[in-house]
Amino acid sequence: MNAPANDDEVQTAPVMDGATEATNEEKLSGLVEQVEQDHGHEGAGAMADHLRDRMDETGVEEEDPATEVE
């Protein structure tokens, strides 16, 4: 794992080794897990808003609706 950022630094890339090699589907799945963990108590609508924001921030693309993401 990479060294943690200082308190005054902004994280601009994934922290975990190998994160930049993940497929879009894997990245999206990870974002869904993060948003569920961080905002699950806020309800589905708020979670969807946070997920869209995180997708925009990270450049993760929406998957084809026919593609199932676990």
Give the model's pLDDT for residue 44: 94
Task: List, for residues 11-70, the tens digit of each pLDDT value.
Answer: 666 666 666 688 999 999 999 999 999 999 999 999 999 999 999 999 999 988 765 556
User: Is this model's pTM higher than 0.75 or not?
Assistant: no
The CA dihedral of 37, 24, 44, 65, to the nearest 10 degrees, is: -150
pLDDT at residue 61, rounded to an integer: 92
Cα–Cα distance for residue pair 34/36, rounded to 1 Å: 5
Task: Mark out the alpha helices in 1-70 (DSSP H runs).
Answer: 24-39, 44-58
**Would you state the torsion angle of the CA atoms of residues 11, 17, 23, 24, taken in this order, to the nearest 10 degrees?**
-20
Residue 1 has pLDDT above 50, yes or no: no
Count CB-CB contacts under 10 A for residue 17.
9
According to the model, what pLDDT value does residue 46 have?
95
Q: Would you say 31 and 58 are in contact if contact means Cβ atoms under 8 Å apart? A: yes
